[in-house]
Structure 1
Amino acid sequence: MPDQSTIAVDAMGGDEGLAVMLAGVAQAAGRHAGMRFILVGDELRVAEGLKKHPSLLAHAEVVHAPQVVGASDKPSQAIRRARTTSMGIAIDLVKKGRAGAAVSSGNTGAMMAMAKLSLRMLPGIDRPALAAPLPTLGANDVVMLDLGANTEVDARNLVQFAVMGAAYARIIFDLESPRVALLNIGSEDQKGTDVIRDAAQALRDATLPMTFTGFVEGDKLARGDHDVIVCDGFAGNIALKTAEGTARFVADLLKRAFTSSLRSKFGFLVSRPATRLLRDHLDPNNHNGAVFLGLNGIVVKSHGGASANGVATAIGNAAKMVRADLIRRIADDLGDFSKPDIGAAA
């Protein structure tokens, strides 16, 4: 049984470096009483960085890792060095039960490869999927998966993604029956590929703690009408990057508009509360933390460019999944699923 109060953190991964990772851990410690951390990285550098966060010393231990997975490292290279890298050691701490989850801002492909090799897949799952919450106009975010782990899938994979995504949404959004939809080129039943239509039929026939709502088009992802949106990793990654780019576009456009004239600057002062609300809602740091669903353990990928607040958000989501026993919930739902023969594993 993993230690549910401890999170292993790859302190060396990410674009922003050790300082931001430690600041994020410190924020997480302040937000979540009783949480403990294992900081994996160069012990001398981590110890030096902890001098800026003395309150964290009582809640953390340091495990030395002599190497770091680089942003350009191939997954095969990372696997060969798993036992000596901060990312590989953090994941191994989950395998050994010393930590309930591992969090890293490092190389996504390497993280997936090492996590899959170390933790293995849950029974009944063919492939892991990368899932993350995205902002919407609704009462809660929407979980979207897969966001890039699998570029080609079959109907069976999509059904498994739906089951895992629904279990995840029940935990992070506190929902009894999440609304689940398949991303498609149209909302009509006859639209899309055979793979998508077969997956839809299986989900309509299933008896699970979810509500299958059919198909959703890309322009309605953020409407708030769904709690889980399922797709292959190719479409999911494009949709994610498009949403992130659109959010930056809107923010930059507003900034340009509000600085274009003296009257605009005055208008900005008047509307500052509304623009701050918009900025906070679109800020990816407030929705940070993608989880590799389907593994026999919890591994969370923080965005490489996340701020300290973003790192803290990812750690908090990881802790919530551990406390809610996400792995057992997914396993139970898979056991209850009444359509195990949909498609063939790709």
Structure 2
Amino acid sequence: MPSNNYHNLIIKIEPVLRGLFEVDQGIRFSREGAKTVNDLFSFQIGNKKYLLKILTRPPRVKSDYFRFEKEVALIARLQQKNELAQKANDVKGIIPLQKVVHLERSEERAGYKFIVFEYIDGIPLASCWHDLTKEVKLSLVRELARILKNLHSLTFDMFGEIEDYDCPRRFYSFQSFLKANLHRDILLLGKRRIFPPKLLTDIQLFFEDKLRETNFSEQPQLVHADLNLTNILVASNDSQKIQALIDFEWAFAGDPLFDLFAIEDGWLCEPELKKTFYAVYAEDENFSLTNFPLERKIFDIFSLIETVSIGWLFFHPTKDSHVILQKQLQKLLQE
């Protein structure tokens, strides 16, 4: 069983799971990984293993409260794409995903929303990436490029939130979506007095002036928005085999450039890896994000503002994080 720190978290969920799986005996839970945005536990019913993902972080904005519904709906839509690819014998068109068993939409029965997935016998690519040979990395990058190309081919009618609730924030252009979210974030930061008012004003003026010059996509496409190596699972006994792309809860309808900027900042930084990735993803090994300098700056500023206003650093601030971010923002505006 989990330690006492997690006892209160699952004490209400266990009876719901026992009813769901129609078992009388108690369920043993094991903590999965380090503390992340959500709480993760594995458990076993008979010979089958499952993953329990619990919505424990309080929502910062309204859409956060519906992010599990969004994740499950997106997985269902991507599974439909996979079924069409299978019928067409298009193995390369399949996106590896977690299989959803149950979504608990209400907090009434268990005190929390949660998702039950079939357990994947895999490890995060982050845990082995730096130990892999160049040949294995190149092979994985080709496969990831294929997967992301298929992922980004999912389109929507409007930009912005794809959560299903009474009044989602949706827009006719990506620029309008970015501008609206920045305005919301600036108001939140202004109330908390984290950054000097002049810096926040300068950021707003920069977006007002420069967004009209950007060449973002006119077609809303799926953006995963959290494509770090922790969210890519590979087989435990074969690190060359991608088992699943996970954690779609932050996804939105936007421009895939935002995913590409993020992965180049993270794990796609070596020139040979980039060349190999874009040879598959863009069918052009000479494709380069350096052709999008303004869009890149918009992404950098927007991402920094989001993380401190509603994201990771709002919930997990460090002693010097706000000072460091302020210097980064000031430097970006001066460049």
Using structure 1 for the length normalisation, give the TM-score.
Answer: 0.26
Q: Compute the TM-score of the two structures, normalised by the length of structure 2.
A: 0.26
Q: Whose RCO is larger (CA < 8 A, sep 6+)?
A: 1
